[in-house]
Structure 1
Amino acid sequence: MQSLKLLEAPERTKARRAGWPWGLAWLVMLPVALLRAGELTESDTFWQIRTGLVTLAEKAIPATDPFSWTALGESWTQNSWAFNVVLAGAYHVWGLPAVALLCATLIMGIGALVVHLARQLGGHPIGAGLALFVASPLLIGFLQARPQLIDYIAVLALVLVLQRLTHGSVRPLHAVAVVSAMSIVWVNLHAAVLLGVGILGACAGLLILRRRTRELGWWCAAATALSFLGAAANPRGFGLLSQTLGVRDASTGVVMEWQPFNPGDLQQLLMFVLGMLGLLLAVRRREVPFVAALTVAAAGSVVAMRLLPVLLLVALPLLASVKAPGWLSRYADSRQDLLRFGVTLFMAGWLAVAVPQLTHLGRPSPSIYPSASITDAIPAGCRLFNSYVLGGWVILERPDVPVSLDSRNDLYGVERVVTFESAVRGQGDLDEALSGAECVLVPLESGLAEALKDDRGWVEGAADDVAVLYVRG
């Protein structure tokens, strides 16, 4: 027995040494996670926390709007109720810093799945780390404290399960069970689960087309059907499809991420090109799950650029697995100690950029959101006319103040959002737009702020470098 332990010890040491470079590759995502955690910029995050708090307090999911005076009592369907509750739980423990750390953990989970898939494909840790580093500037704007983080994790996890299914490392029945359970969890965290159903269906179709993989294809088709049924395990049931279409219709033309793919935008173009390179590699290597996921994500990206990060993240493991030329591999093997030192030095510098963010975890972006002195100055119960971005922040900080607008486009509809935002720019009939409002909170440099400056019917209540509060005189 002692001799067996002695034999196993070198094997464990060897495994640890082999895993160490992959750990460094994964740590490339840490500065990105810290940068996102150090500053919250997304307006959705704040009203989602408040919604989760209301859900926990009332032990029921709100079915009508409780936060605004312009849509008060109107029907409202949440597409991420469970994610809102999770955010609220973190907020209850340690406020916004806990929310930021939770989402940073999700970002690290995304990086872990990318690195693991790259390793499964036979990639090199340096390639995986380099792929994550190059993609970081393209992805960082999408990696905000939002339920979309769940989508990125779910798609990568789905590809991982399908990859193991097609390579015979997991029993088909087990894979179907796991995928079905994933769908139920996913749909309640975020209603984008239909993306996963589409990927499963595409994978099933590709497998059935090939005779030697046809049996696996039928298993995958069963997983598709069960995942679609699992998607109904949400408060809306099969109304999920109409809900998704409603969100799209209310956001297209208003929210940037719902716009079609714009090849004239360099960031979008680079993400799409890298995704297409990944798709070519997947086809060449006959990695059916990757082909299915990349095809669905690419088609979705053309319609709405919000799927570009999904396309890029699925492509990264394939890009990281590209074999280096023989001469380069031989040179790297002969300079392992030097490379290890260089990579460690690079990681230390990369982390030094982001570590200062730990001094202000969960800070609302000071270039977007006003100071506490502004929100505290809003009179209690005052019907507030506000800009699109500031609505979510007020909902969290001052739940006693009903807002005119926030980023729940599916609740307000395109017409109201466009009308109110035009008024913030100082356009249109301002008296009509402000009818019923008792306070106004808008960006300091907005057209409406300039218009109210000389209006005797409004008195400046407070101001800082970002926003100004007016109270009806």
Structure 2
Amino acid sequence: MAYSGRFSRAASHAVTLQAIQSSETAAGKGGVLPLLVGCGALVYLLAIGDSFLQDSDTFWQIETGRWILAHGAVPTTDVFSFTKAGAPWMSSSWLAQVIFALAMKAGWVGPVIVTAFAAASAFALFAAYLERYASALVTTALTMLAVTLTVPHLLTRPHVLALPLMVGWFIGLIDAADRKAAPRWALLIVIALWANIHGGFGLGLLLIAPAALEALRQADPARRVALALRWGAFGVAALASCCATPYGWNTLIAAGKILSLGEVLTTLGEWAPADFSRFGPLEASILALIGVALWRGLSLPWPRLLLLLGLLHMALAHVRSIESFALLAPLALARPWAEQLASRRTPPPGAKAEFVLPGWAAVASVLAIVGATIAVAPRLTYQFVETQMPEQALAAAQRNGAERILNGYEFGGYLISRRVPVFIDGRAELYGERMVMDMVRAVAGRDTAALDRFIVDYDIDATLLPAHAPIIGLMDRRAGWHRAYADDVAVVHLRDRQ
């Protein structure tokens, strides 16, 4: 029995070596495929660039960046509303906002190109890691699936600029785990940059735990205590690195505020749970994942299984987390599943080696794609979606002397871009759960008492609300008010002059 056990371990070791050698061969392809994937994704994303301009939060993100550039400091209080003017507020995405503000000097094409480039970089990194363990065909297919799942949430907003940082950070963690070592200290630069780009860096901190457990699982028992201490030190250093921002330790507080909004998170579209009323890419991906695992009898080490379940839970709970599942889950699965499949694969006699694009042809292709993109970029034109821009309605309100306008939630960003103090906008963490939910119910016509409080408490002299909102009919019948303007985007009501 002892001999059998030694033989089994030796065989297992040989299989692992075979898989690692095969992955090293894949990694030695020169990184051409990821470059092609990234360039191809960039061209595709630029072609659909108008879809990035669908959220009025983009306006206040850019205006915050302009404010930072103009004042040479980051905001610590609200400067855009008349309802929360002077209230404490920190911008956890200050660096992304500055980047967008600088890009906006070229018009909307600037932020769109920045967004497309960041997303394409994330897909290139994603493909670069998968290429170590999978064929070019599988790598390309999985990257296309990741693009499909991620595109609906690609907007000209800071979270997209953080995508390549998220992917690079996780690759650094999982690589360390597979080396049975602690992550390299240089990786801390990635999460420090992430903390200045977007408040989602908290996910990066959470990813440390499963990666550390995976490293400890693979390490020799005699080394586990020392390795655990090194991972612990790295985790503490990562937490400190997240505070390398103009806000210091307050960065952690600002990033956590959005999670304390309670009912608001079930109301805002991006925080809503996944919708399975119609068959879509997410459902197809989950079913394919389960089907492949059952069909091929694949398994996962328990730390990676916990990680996969956590990412899946996040994707099901909030649609904004689908891109995290799409980009990180395949990376967690890649090595263990590749090793298991390699141990069962017997090439048929006369099988041909996988086709690899010649280096010169790949470089020529990349140069052609990049050259075409640079040539076309100045001719690209993008327009913000009109339903988020009540331009004519705002002009009508201002012509009538309106100063304190109760605006719809989705119009706040646009009003900020026109230097109009707003009643409310997309910074839900500033306004708080109660005010946001009162506004949601009031606009839906379910809480007229909240509307009354808003008008009295904030001395409202005009409303600028979505044309489709149920509250419009109530305002038409409200004593002391009259409709002053209406179009397909918004309706303006003015208080009657005494």
* TM-score of the two chains, using structure 2 as the length reference: 0.74
**Of the candidates 59, 63, 66, which is equivalent to residue 72 of structure 2?**
59
**CA distance in 2: counterparts of 1:259 and 1:82, whole angstroms:** 27
**CA distance in 1: counterparts of 2:289 and 2:329, whole angstroms:** 5
2:121 is the alignment partner of 1:100? no
| CA 1:27–1:331: 2 relative to 1, 3 Å | farther
Q: Cα offset for 1:241?
A: 4.2
Q: Cα offset for 1:412?
A: 0.8
CA offset digits 1:121-142 (Å, max 9, x no partner): 2x22222222233343332122
SS at match of 1:78: coil
Q: Cα offset for 1:98?
A: 0.8
1:249 maps to which residue?
A: 260
CA offset digits 1:256-306 (Å, max 9, x no partner): 43345677675554455567789999x857697x66754553454465453
2:336 is the alignment partner of 1:312? no
Contact 1:374 1:463 in 2 (8 A): yes
Q: Cα offset for 1:375?
A: 3.6
**Of the candidates 194, 206, 225, which is equivalent to residue 202 of structure 2?**
194
Contact 2:274 2:316 in 1 (8 A): yes
| CA 1:246–1:56: 2 relative to 1, 3 Å | same
**CA distance in 2: counterparts of 1:469 and 1:41, whole angstroms:** 22
List alignment gaps of at least 5 residues for structure 2.
1-26
2:63 maps to which residue?
A: 50
**CA distance in 1: counterparts of 2:160 and 2:200, whole angstroms:** 11
Contact 1:387 1:441 in 2 (8 A): yes
| CA 1:153–1:18: 2 relative to 1, 3 Å | closer
2:4 maps to which residue?
A: none
List alignment gaps of at least 5 residues for structure 1.
1-14
SS at match of 2:153: coil
1:4 maps to which residue?
A: none
2:411 is the alignment partner of 1:390? yes
1:402 maps to which residue?
A: 421
2:379 is the alignment partner of 1:365? no
Contact 1:32 1:136 in 2 (8 A): no
1:3-82 equivalent positions in 2, closer than 5 A? 21-30=33-42, 32-34=44-46, 37-39=49-51, 40-82=53-95
CA offset digits 1:319-351 (Å, max 9, x no partner): 798679867x958969999xx9xxx9xxx9xx9
**CA distance in 1: counterparts of 2:146 and 2:119, whole angstroms:** 13
Worse-matched range after superposition: 216-225 or 52-61: 216-225
Counterpart code for 2:407: N
**CA distance in 2: counterparts of 1:118 and 1:83, whole angstroms:** 28
SS at match of 2:107: helix
SS at match of 1:140: helix
Contact 2:178 2:215 in 1 (8 A): no
**CA distance in 2: counterparts of 1:334 and 1:195, whole angstroms:** 38
Counterpart code for 1:157: G
**CA distance in 2: counterparts of 1:331 and 1:292, whole angstroms:** 38
SS at match of 2:464: strand
| CA 1:46–1:221: 2 relative to 1, 3 Å | same
* TM-score of the two chains, using structure 1 as the length reference: 0.77
Counterpart code for 1:30: L
Contact 2:466 2:490 in 1 (8 A): yes
Q: Cα offset for 1:316?
A: 3.6
Q: Cα offset for 1:314?
A: 1.3
1:3 maps to which residue?
A: none
CA offset digits 1:221-269 (Å, max 9, x no partner): 3321210111222344334444344211214233243345677675554
Counterpart code for 2:135: H
Counterpart code for 2:113: L
2:13 maps to which residue?
A: none
SS at match of 1:450: helix
**CA distance in 1: counterparts of 2:431 and 2:278, whole angstroms:** 29
Contact 2:65 2:101 in 1 (8 A): yes
Counterpart code for 2:495: R
Q: Cα offset for 1:163?
A: 4.2
2:155 is the alignment partner of 1:144? yes
The alignment yields a C-alpha RMSD, in angstroms, of: 4.1
**CA distance in 2: counterparts of 1:204 and 1:16, whole angstroms:** 27
SS at match of 1:252: helix
SS at match of 1:38: helix
Aligned residue pairs, count: 435
2:232 is the alignment partner of 1:224? no
Contact 1:36 1:100 in 2 (8 A): no
Counterpart code for 2:129: L
CA offset digits 1:73-124 (Å, max 9, x no partner): 2211222122112211212x21322111111111111111111111122x22
Counterpart code for 1:405: I
Counterpart code for 1:374: A
CA offset digits 1:408-458 (Å, max 9, x no partner): 111111111111122222332244443322222211122222333455744
